């Protein structure tokens, strides 16, 4: 009986010690689990929508240089994206966007339809200085899913001075896609030109 009592007493003394050890060893794991996002957390849609601040920043144009037969002219460009399909975001989220697309959605890998009105200063009178492009552009991530560096390839139809021509372009982007450089070349003889655009964009 004394031996059994001794075993019970020893177990009773070890129980608090084991509890303390378990708490000490388990605390880092619990703390890490509390600070880390769940690995398999349910994906949620971003809930983006039209706002006045968003509309205001869309009115800020991207400056460009238009190099054509008449020389080099300064210009500005705006851009609208009616439809975008992203193949680089979480597959649990909708890949479709209309007009508003978050930088990650665009630069992690996507294909978009775009429209782009442009104004070229000194290319003619006021009406003759406007041109319009419409086309397709694909984005591909290069560094950190496109946040640090991404590129694009695209093609468009150009309407200028009552003529239509095909254009081809390539771009490189950084700072989450908000800043980039695009080079657009139009080989058609009537509108042959090269456009270098400093792309400034706030999704």
Q: What DSSP string describes 46-103?
A: ------HHHHHHHTSPEEEEEEETTEEEEEEE--EEEEEEESSS-TTS--EESS---H
Does the residue 143 lie in any domain?
yes
Judged against a pLDDT cut of 60, whether residue 125 lies above it is answered with yes
- Residues 182, 156 contacting (CB under 8 angstroms): no
Beta partners for residue 139, in sequence order: 110, 152
Rg of the chain over CA atoms, in angstroms?
Answer: 29
Does the residue 27 lie in any domain?
yes
Quote the number of domains for the chain.
Answer: 2
pLDDT at 118: 96
3-state secondary structure of 122: coil
Residues 71, 127 share a domain: yes
What range does the domain containing 154 cover?
52-200
Cα(139)–Cα(166) distance, integer angstroms: 20
pLDDT band at 44, cuts 50/70/90?
Answer: confident
Judged against a pLDDT cut of 80, whether residue 29 lies above it is answered with no
Residues 67, 17 share a domain: no
pLDDT band at 91, cuts 50/70/90?
Answer: confident
Distances (CA, A) of 30 to 18, 36, 52, 142: 18, 10, 43, 36
- pLDDT tens digits, residue range 127-172? 678 999 999 999 999 999 999 999 999 999 999 988 999 999 999 9
Beta partners for residue 151, in sequence order: 140, 172
Question: What does the angle CA 177 – CA 182 – CA 184 come to, to the nearest 5 degrees?
Answer: 150
Per the prediction, the chain carries an average pLDDT of 82
Cα(157)–Cα(136) distance, integer angstroms: 9
Residues 32, 63 share a domain: no
Does the residue 59 lie in any domain?
yes
pLDDT at 35: 38
pTM, to two decimals: 0.76
- Residues 199, 180 contacting (CB under 8 angstroms): yes
Cα(202)–Cα(57) distance, integer angstroms: 7
Residues 37, 56 share a domain: no
Judged against a pLDDT cut of 70, whether residue 41 lies above it is answered with no
Mean pLDDT lowest for which of 15-19, 86-90, 143-147? 15-19
pLDDT at 43: 65
Residues 166, 143 share a domain: yes
């Amino acid at each position: 009986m004394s031996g059994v009592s001794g075993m019970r007493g020893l177990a009773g003394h070890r129980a608090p010690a084991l509890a303390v050890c378990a708490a000490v060893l388990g605390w880092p794991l619990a703390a890490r689990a509390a600070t880390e996002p769940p690995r398999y957390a349910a994906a949620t849609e971003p809930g983006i929508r039209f706002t006045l601040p968003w509309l205001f920043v869309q009115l800020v144009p991207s400056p460009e240089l238009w190099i054509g037969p008449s020389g080099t002219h300064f210009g500005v460009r705006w851009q609208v994206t009616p439809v975008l399909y992203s193949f680089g975001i979480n597959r649990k989220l909708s890949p479709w966007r209309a007009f508003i697309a978050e930088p990650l959605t665009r630069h992690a890998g996507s294909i978009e339809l775009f429209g782009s009105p442009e104004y070229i200063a000194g290319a003619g009178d006021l009406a003759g200085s406007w041109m319009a492009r419409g086309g397709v552009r694909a984005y591909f991530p290069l560094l950190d899913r496109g946040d640090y560096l991404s590129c694009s390839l695209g093609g468009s139809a150009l309407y200028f001075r009552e003529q239509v021509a095909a254009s081809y372009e390539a771009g490189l982007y950084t700072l989450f896609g908000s800043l980039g450089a695009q080079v657009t070349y139009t080989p058609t003889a009537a509108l042959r030109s090269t456009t270098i655009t400093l792309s400034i964009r706030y999704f």
